């Protein structure tokens, strides 16, 4: 039997096993499961029955040589999202990967992901990130959101959450986001006018990185940086390039022994990337603070948005620097890649694009800018974004480090300090959860629809049924994405206005673009699109 046949048979078995696990719980039940009392009980259980349960050493998993073979011979080094599915097909829904200093328990069904998250404790940790921490220690910086743990992390989140996650507060950013989207439209107009056929924009993702960076900067600094102008500020390009280096090297650096640091270039480049990220954030903050001080000394009122909020909070200056850097970092790859993939699919699916256009046009005729209230009348657009995030999750695999407690998952007992890898890409692409999982079908998220036909294919209620943990693109619980609401607003405003102005097409004979992993999931090749004016 060929390895593909073995894999697909094992995949079907894994899918069957997933289907035969206990029935999916409702969102409310899951939330109830997460309360502190239940967490305590699970841990008592874990401690007392440890002797009877299997342990991490009983888990199946690849040997070091198999891992090396997959990574470097079969080319999975930048396709770790696909390695999840391959390994699940061989070892089942839970397995162990040991690779150098890395020792990880992978879980790849929504039920097992839910089990891990339910036991994440009061102060969840994604991963220890010793290499990120080492950079902060070397430079004497504060740790920040990603590296800080326990009550210290929670203190940071408590300052950020109110103005980032409360819908009403985030709605206040709508006018500035619309301004940034206006710049994006201008930029697209300019780029297409410069192309040979007057309509093509090459490598749309790199343009959208600038859009993402301008979007988050405009909120943080209360001023516009002009990232989408003719002359792109050099610090913007430096930040985007350092983001690329840092995210790429974050996958390599932890696997290399320390003694290689003076011989191989990776560690030095990794540190340089962090230095650049920090430096740019500091320059922008200091510049804005000087402006604020000048305004105050002239007796002028200061419009307070996000930076002002951070500066007037209990955070130290060092914490403000690192926090702003991390928020900027969150703005580069996330919304931009999602928007690129959404446009890529709409270009290949004219019916879906037409449906989106007619929805946007009926809610906001004559290219009126949508308000935040209008967005609730655009379910199809939200479905397009959800379906995009399902097919191309920016975070294809997340982590939970069981720092506080021992845990029990799938009848295995794990000691404190076990690192879990939540294989989201695999669950998002699992036929057991999503019928025709590899197809772009926004309709699957429109639950009010009657069963019948979806995109010309007969459908049934299975299209709408999936486990609540089979799709959690922004994470869940207290450690979930702090930028979720802002990201959604940027995505909805940008997509609706682009579609108001343009019909998007792919280039004649354009190849299928696959994703690749650079810590986050990004397009492996540039996406070139044709923007035909709807005038």
Q: Give whichever of 91 and 153 is closer to ligand HEM, judged by the CB atom.
A: 153
Residue 72 carries which DSSP code? I
193: exposed, middle or buried (C-beta count within 10 Å: 0-12, 13-18, 19+)? exposed
Site for ligand HEM contains 494 (CB under 6 A): no
Least distance from ligand HEM to the Cβ atom of residue 259, Å: 31
3 state DSSP class of 422:
strand
DSSP track, 266-334: HHHHHHHHHHHHHHHHHHHHHHHHHHHHHHHHTT------HHHHHHTSS--HHHHHHHHHHHHHHHHHH
146 interacts with ligand HEM by CB under 6 A:
yes
Nearest-5° Cα angle at 348, 345 to 349: 85
Among the listed ranges 107-115, 132-140, 271-279, 479-487, the one in contact with ligand HEM (CB under 6 A) is: 479-487
By rule CB under 6 A, what string of x and - marks binding of each residue 200-239 to ligand HEM? Answer: ----------------x-----------------------
Least separation in angstroms between residue 495's CB and ligand HEM is: 12
* Cα–Cα distance measured from residue 208 to residue 17, given in angstroms and rounded to the nearest whole number: 40
Q: Which DSSP letter does residue 433 get?
A: T
Interface with ligand HEM (CB under 6 A), residue total 26
Angle, CA 78 vertex, CA 77 and CA 81 arms, to 5°: 100
Least Cβ distance, residue 436 to ligand HEM (angstroms): 22
Say if residue 227 carries a ligand binding annotation: no
Output the six-digit token pair for 392: 């191309």
Report the 10 Å Cβ neighbour count for 102: 13
Q: Would you count residue 479 as binding ligand HEM (CB under 6 A)?
A: yes
398 sits near ligand HEM (criterion: CB under 6 A)? yes
CB of 179 to ligand HEM, least distance (A): 17
By CB under 6 A, what part of segment 147-166 binds ligand HEM?
A: 157
- Contact between 243 and ligand HEM by CB under 6 A: the answer reads no
Residues 303-342 that bind ligand HEM (CB under 6 A): 326-327, 330-331, 334-335, 338
Instruction: Tell me: does residue 121 bind ligand HEM (CB under 6 A).
Output: no
Tell me the C-alpha distance between 87 and 97, whole Å: 10
Long-range contact set of residues 460-468: C-beta below 8 Å, sequence gap at least 24 = 462/435, 463/435, 465/24, 466/24, 466/110, 466/433, 466/434, 467/24, 467/25, 467/110, 467/111, 467/114, 467/433, 468/24, 468/25, 468/26, 468/27, 468/30, 468/110, 468/114
Residue placing its CB nearer to ligand HEM in the complex, 216 or 527 = 216
**Closest distance to ligand HEM from the beta carbon of 478 (Å):** 8
Most distant CA atoms of the chain, gap in Å: 79
Query: Which residues, 6 or more positions from 259, have their beta carbon under 8 angstroms from its beta carbon?
Result: none
Q: Is 474 in the site for ligand HEM (CB under 6 A)?
A: yes
Q: In degrees, to the nearest 5, what angle opens at C-alpha 480 toward C-alphas 104 and 84?
A: 35
Residue 515 interacts with ligand HEM (CB under 6 A): yes or no? no
Q: Is 396 in the site for ligand HEM (CB under 6 A)?
A: no
Report how far residue 510's alpha carbon sits from residue 246's, in angstroms, rounded to the nearest whole number: 30
Taking CB under 6 A as the criterion, the residue among 105, 208, 395, 408 binding ligand HEM is 395
Of the two residues 15 and 339, which places its CB atom closer to ligand HEM in the complex? 339
Whichever of 77 and 520 has its CB closer to ligand HEM, that residue is 520
* Nearest distance, CB of residue 235 and ligand HEM, angstroms: 18
Contact 418, 56 (CB under 8 A): yes
Only segment of 97-105, 172-180, 341-349, 469-477 that touches ligand HEM (CB under 6 A): 469-477
Shortest Å, Cβ 481 to ligand HEM: 3
What residues form the annotated binding site for heme?
A: 481
Per CB under 6 A, residues contacting ligand HEM are 126, 145-146, 157, 216, 326-327, 330-331, 334-335, 338, 389, 394-395, 398, 473-475, 479-483, 486-487
What residues form the annotated binding site?
A: 481
């Amino acid at each position: 039997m060929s390895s593909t046949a073995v894999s697909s048979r094992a995949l079907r078995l894994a899918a069957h096993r997933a289907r035969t696990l206990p029935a999916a719980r409702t969102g409310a039940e899951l939330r109830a499961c997460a309360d502190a009392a239940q967490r305590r009980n699970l841990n008592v259980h874990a401690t007392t029955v440890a002797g009877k349960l299997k342990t991490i050493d009983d888990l199946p998993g690849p040997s070091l040589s198999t891992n090396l073979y997959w990574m470097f011979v079969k080319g999975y080094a930048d396709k770790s999202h696909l390695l999840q599915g391959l390994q699940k097909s061989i070892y089942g829904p839970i397995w162990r990967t040991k690779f150098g200093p890395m020792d990880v328990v992978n879980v790849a069904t929504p039920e097992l992901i839910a089990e891990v998250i339910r036991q994440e404790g009061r102060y969840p940790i994604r991963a220890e990130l010793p290499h990120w921490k080492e950079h902060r220690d070397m430079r004497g910086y504060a740790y920040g959101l990603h590296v800080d743990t326990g009550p210290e992390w929670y203190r940071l989140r408590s300052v950020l959450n109110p103005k980032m996650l409360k819908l009403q507060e985030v709605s206040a950013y709508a006018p500035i986001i619309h301004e940034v989207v206006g710049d994006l439209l201008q930029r697209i107009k300019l780029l297409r006018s410069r192309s040979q056929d007057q309509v093509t924009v090459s490598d749309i993702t790199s343009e959208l990185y600038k859009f993402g960076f301008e979007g988050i900067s405009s909120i943080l600094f209360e001023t516009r940086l002009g990232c989408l102008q003719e002359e792109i500020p050099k610090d913007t390009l430096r930040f985007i390039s350092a983001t690329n280096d840092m995210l790429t090297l974050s996958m390599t650096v932890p696997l290399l022994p320390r003694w290689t640091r003076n011989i191989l270039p990776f560690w030095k480049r990794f540190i340089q990337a962090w230095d650049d990220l920090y430096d740019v954030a500091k320059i922008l903050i200091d510049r804005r603070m000087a402006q604020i001080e000048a305004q105050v000394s002239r007796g002028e009122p200061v419009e307070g948005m996000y930076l002002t909020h951070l500066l007037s909070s209990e955070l130290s200056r060092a914490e403000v620097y690192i926090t702003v850097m991390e928020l900027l970092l969150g703005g580069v790859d996330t919304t931009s890649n999602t928007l690129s993939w959404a446009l890529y699919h709409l270009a290949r699916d004219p019916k879906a694009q037409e449906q989106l256009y007619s929805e946007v046009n009926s809610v906001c005729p004559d290219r009126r800018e949508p308000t935040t209230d209008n967005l609730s009348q655009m379910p199809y657009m939200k479905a397009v974004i959800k379906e995009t995030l399902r097919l191309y999750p920016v975070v294809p695999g997340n982590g939970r480090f069981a720092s506080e407690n021992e845990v029990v998952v799938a009848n295995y007992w794990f000691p404190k300090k076990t690192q879990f890898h939540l294989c989201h890409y695999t669950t998002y692409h699992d036929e057991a959860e999503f019928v025709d999982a590899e197809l772009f079908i926004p309709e699957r998220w429109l639950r009010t629809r009657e069963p019948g036909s979806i995109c010309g294919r007969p459908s049934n209620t299975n299209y709408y049924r999936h486990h609540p943990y089979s799709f959690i693109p922004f994470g869940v619980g207290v450690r979930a994405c702090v930028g979720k609401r802002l990201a959604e607003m940027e995505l909805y405003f940008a997509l609706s206005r682009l579609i108001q102005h343009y019909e998007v097409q792919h280039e004649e004979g354009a190849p299928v673009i696959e994703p690749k992993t650079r810590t986050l999931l990004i397009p492996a090749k540039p996406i070139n699109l044709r923007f035909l004016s709807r005038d």
